Structure 1
Amino acid sequence: MATMTHDVAAVTRSRRGQVGVAWAVLAAGSFGLSGALASGLLDAGWSPAALVLCRIGVGAVALAGPAAMTLRGRWHLLRANAGFLVVFGLVAVAGCQYSYFNAVERLPVAIAILVEYVAPVAVVCWMWARHHQAPSGLTLVGAAVAVAGLLLVLDVFAAGSVDGVGVLWALGGMVGCAFFFVVSSGEENGLPPIVLAAGGLTVGSVLLGLAGLVGLVDMSASTSPASYDRVRVGWWVAVLALGVVTAAVSYVSGVFASRALGPRLASFLGLLEVLFSVVFAWLLLGQLPHLIQLLGGVLLLGGVIVVRMGEPEPS
């Protein structure tokens, strides 16, 4: 009986892992589209804050009905987790996306996302600090390779080649991204994934909207068409795609992935977002990094993979 129970548990974990990987790939693809879509609107005269507000606002509306149905009258879950939802909406949703879109305004999409996806290393460092696990030699090697790759991505040896302010914004996005992977993996709050995503998008929209009303952020928008490598589409098409695909779909699938795989593995698979972002930037914008930056990207991703390989398995 004990052997049968163990086998059933192993199969359950395997299926959960497979489903989690599928969710992670969907999240990476939908998140990865956001930079290229946003770039076309930024060039048309939109400010980063206005874009983020429309993106997460449309996403919140799209998820409102499904989230209410999932709650099934358990509104006490929202009251009990009000503080958590405020922090999640501020840091993991509004703050992360505002930082990333500001980075995209100043940097090529591929460079902005490569800097942001130092996040898995930050997640591993957080887990070390929380569980008092010292880094292994392999992990230190991976971290060194990742740093070297980041230096090449930023092309620091060519003075003035990369906008420093843009890099700082991308690092801000990295913090928000790491925060998302860590906090969305917890299930002890009782919030279903779709409810957490909808709540975060709603809170993020309200907070960013208030910041715009009091003049803390620029809310410029335009009705000019968005241009993508000689193809022009209506502004509302790009905004709708940003809200439904890169906000509603991406945040729900990201939460599902984090809960099925845990924050470390989910953030590791989140590196696929870099690949998707580069491909979408090439297809929609005609952007490709320089050869030295492509080499740096390979080193950066390879370093993060080595960090993951050297990480102790959870007990």
Structure 2
Amino acid sequence: MLVYAVIAVAGVQLAFYTAIARIPVSTALLIEYLAPVALVLFAWVRTRRVPQLVVLAGSVVAIAGLVLVVGPAGGALDPFGVVIAGVAMLGVAVYYLLGERDDLGVPPIALAASGLLIGAVVLGIAALSGLVPFEAAFTDVDFLGGTAPWWVPVLMVAAISTAFAYVAGIQAIRMLGTRLSSFLGLSEVVFAAVVAWALLGEAIGPAQLIGGLLILGGIVLVRLERRASDTAAIALDVDLVPVPVRAGAADERPNLAQ
């Protein structure tokens, strides 16, 4: 729980917001969402098995789509900002790896609640210590075309965008595995573009449409990965093909009764 809270929750937030203070947001997002590729490489190193071709193809297609959707800014980049964005990417990878560990005996709600609570404490310490700039204004804010008290959007972000999202994410990881769920997580940028179009009126360009299709295509390719259990089942089916008994073979078998 401590590793999940400090690295996968607080660490990702601190690293990402530190990175976007030095490099463009789109570039930081692109680096952070390389987590699925990092997981593929991690599995490659750990098992010493080359990933299946369909997984490698899905990785290339999905990342190409991500580049089109996010549209990373060009120009010179702050090396420290790039490194910190890479730290955020590793934190996301840890989020998927620990989320899959149902053998820990911690239900998704308990893991999310404990992780977010401890993560909030870590972020609070970082703010109070001056590690990150922090300020708050408790005033009415513009919200969904109107005006609302400050606590209304805070409550919605806390309940829907954070608590519900983390619990649903952990449950999905345990059902689908780290690889497929991490690639499905790339669809977040596609839905973000759709929501921005619907609520903020931000146009979706042709490049973003193509990028979204590529991301979905990459997810499909990764989904087509053949598991070891599937391969064993196919081998078993082949081994169980009936072998015809030639004529007279029954007479040649020894009589066990004798």
- Give the TM-score, by structure 1 length: 0.59
DSSP 3-state at the match of 2:142: strand
Greater RCO, CA 8 A, separation 6+:
1
Give the gaps of 5 or more residues in structure 2.
230-258
Q: Is the 8 A contact 2:5 2:116 kept in 1?
A: yes
In 2 relative to 1, CA 140–250 (structure 1 residues): closer, same or farther, beyond 3 Å?
Answer: closer
CA deviations on 1:245-304 (whole Å, 9 max, x unpaired) are 122211122222222232223323334433332232223333345433443343344335
Partner residue of 1:227 out of 142, 146, 155: 142
Partner residue of 1:263 out of 174, 178, 182: 178
Equivalent position of 1:96 in the other structure: 12
Q: CA deviation at 1:241?
A: 0.9
In 2 relative to 1, CA 184–139 (structure 1 residues): closer, same or farther, beyond 3 Å?
Answer: closer
DSSP 3-state at the match of 2:104: coil
Q: Is the 8 A contact 2:18 2:84 kept in 1?
A: yes
Q: CA deviation at 1:159?
A: 4.1
Q: Is the 8 A contact 1:112 1:167 kept in 2?
A: yes
Equivalent position of 2:42 in the other structure: 126
Partner residue of 1:148 out of 57, 64, 72: 64
In 2 relative to 1, CA 248–152 (structure 1 residues): closer, same or farther, beyond 3 Å?
Answer: closer
Q: CA deviation at 1:90?
A: 1.3
CA deviations on 1:114-162 (whole Å, 9 max, x unpaired) are 6644333333332333233212333333333334334434546x74499
Q: Is the 8 A contact 1:268 1:308 kept in 2?
A: no
Instruction: Name the % identity.
Output: 43
In 2 relative to 1, CA 269–280 (structure 1 residues): closer, same or farther, beyond 3 Å?
Answer: same
CA RMSD in angstroms comes to 3.5
Q: Is the 8 A contact 1:155 1:161 kept in 2?
A: no
DSSP 3-state at the match of 2:103: coil
Q: Which amino acid aligns with 2:196?
A: A
CA deviations on 1:226-246 (whole Å, 9 max, x unpaired) are 435754433211111111112
Asked if residue 313 in structure 1 is aligned to residue 224 in structure 2, the reply is: no
Equivalent position of 1:202 in the other structure: 117
Cα separation, 1, equivalents of 2:199 and 2:43: 37
Q: Which amino acid aligns with 1:124?
A: V
Partner residue of 1:282 out of 197, 205, 213: 197
Equivalent position of 2:105 in the other structure: 190
In 2 relative to 1, CA 270–216 (structure 1 residues): closer, same or farther, beyond 3 Å?
Answer: same
Q: Which amino acid aligns with 2:64?
A: A
Q: Which amino acid aligns with 2:46?
A: R
Q: CA deviation at 1:204?
A: 0.7
DSSP 3-state at the match of 1:220: coil
Cα separation, 2, equivalents of 1:162 and 1:229: 35
Structure exhibiting the larger radius of gyration computed from Cα positions: 2
Q: Is the 8 A contact 2:197 2:204 kept in 1?
A: no
Q: Greater helix share, 1 or 2?
A: 1
